[in-house]
Chains A and B, each alone.
Chain A
Amino acid sequence: MARGTVHVFVGTRKGTYVLESGPQRRRWKVGKLAHAGSDVFHVSPDPRHPGTVYANVNSGFWGPMVMRSRHWGRTWKEVSTPLLPQKKERKPRFGEEGDLAPLPITNLWHMEPGHPREDKTLFLGVDPHALFRSDDEGESWAPVPGINDHPTRSKWTPGFGGPCLHTILIDREDPRRMFVGLSAAGMFRTDDAGEHWRPVNRNVETPYLPEKFPEVGQCVHHVVPDGDRRDLFYRQDHGGIYVTRDGMENWDRIGKGLPDDFGFAVASPPAHPGRAYFVPLDSQSRMTLPGGFQVLEWSEARRTWRPLMGRRAFPGHFGVHREGLSCDTLDPAGIYAGTTTGQLILSPDAGRSWVQVPYQFPGIHSVAVASPEVP
């Protein structure tokens, strides 16, 4: 039986919230609002350093800021925010001494703590399409040119959320093997710690392009790894729901038989390998399908789908963003969904029962969980 506190970190249109509960996950305490007024695209607890949490704060007035907490979000301090490199061919836009100026970063998207063997390393994805690496817990940042200057970059386009790098996955065995997702460019893989990257989007359809299966150009929405099998990943793409069983060399569309396999969010519970959760949305309105909110469970063992709640459990029209669905590591798994209209809907028992936290949040961008250790 797990002991300790489950922390849920909620990034919203108007700031950051931290919720706490015991391992039963029945009663929740909502902490005070931090970063009030700012868009917080992602809040990322660092499992290598319990208590350390990063928040990607995008102020509409003062710009993007990386914030760090050492105390589970009770206090925050700004750390370094990355800069895009100066481009020699660009003319200076402004500068008293005629300096070349870097392009501004519009938004900070995803923060990923590095591999456990690299315990001060962080990766940060931003808009415009770029990946940064820090080896000192965010005190300084270096761009990763292997992906930022990729030969296919001229074919990358922005999604509706802007030209962003929003998904970063680090192989659990080998820190040199990584995957990143960009909209609308697709997934890319490196096996040499970011020196070289190659697109890995085979069989993923692009219904919005004349060429239906290009090498790049896919609007990947989110990808998560399976809790057990190293080469198994689940993908929610603009062009449907996919799974890969060979480390992203090939993708298999598993959502074809669903009423609509559009959506943004996907999560997979570490305690239940072979399962993945998706929130299906209407592909035109980007809102819940008729009947209301639903979470679908994919069983990789049975190759089947099943809904995890009744059709009218949470009626209404709203969305769930790409970072809006998350799982804890407990058994049975907790599943947490934050909606664009500010509801936090969760299941403490792997989808058997669902409740809504009795608190009205601002529109939710992201939900992340730090689970207590299981003795």
Chain B
Amino acid sequence: MVVTRLDSWLSEFGAPRRAEVQSPDVAGLLSDLERRYPRLRHRIRDESGSLRRFVRIFVDGVDISSLGGLKTPLAPTAVVDILHSIAGG
């Protein structure tokens, strides 16, 4: 099972800090989280399915923007971090 660690800010939308998900890629992982926690829908990804501008996802410590984006494959032992990025002021 893929271990997913979620940003504490996402608890505002009913998300846990940690979830175990079975998915072949990041997109499927997000869909599974959205099914389980419906208020996450359109928060990590926008309505078009694109990752929101100031959200970053890491697979085993590597930003998916330098991997395969949302199609990045996940090994069964992968650890995924979903975080908000450095922005604002």
Contact = CB atoms under 8 A, between A and B. Distances in A.
A160 interface: no
A101 B47 contact: yes
Given A81-B42, A94-B27, A96-B27, A61 B54 contact: yes
A96 B49 CA distance: 9
Contact of B43 (A62, A93, A102, A105): A62
A96 B31 contact: yes
Interface string B74-89: 0000000000100110
A63 B43 contact: yes
B52 interface: yes
Interface in B6-20: 9, 13
B49 A63 contact: no
Interface string B1-35: 00000000100010000000000000110010000
Contacts of A63: 42-43, 46, 52
Contact of A104 (B39, B50, B54, B70): B50
Contacts of B52: 61-63
Contact of A102 (B31, B39, B48, B84): B48
Contacts of B27: 94, 96
27 contacts: A37-B88, A60-B87, A61-B9, A61-B52, A61-B54, A61-B55, A62-B13, A62-B43, A62-B44, A62-B52, A63-B46, A63-B52, A78-B39, A81-B42, A93-B48, A93-B49, A93-B50, A94-B45, A94-B50, A101-B47, A101-B48, A102-B47, A102-B48, A103-B47, A104-B46, A104-B50, A105-B47
Given A94-B49, A96-B28, 4 more contacts: A62-B43, A63-B52, A93-B49, A104-B46
Interface of B: 9, 13, 27-28, 31, 39, 42-50, 52, 54-55, 70, 84, 87-88
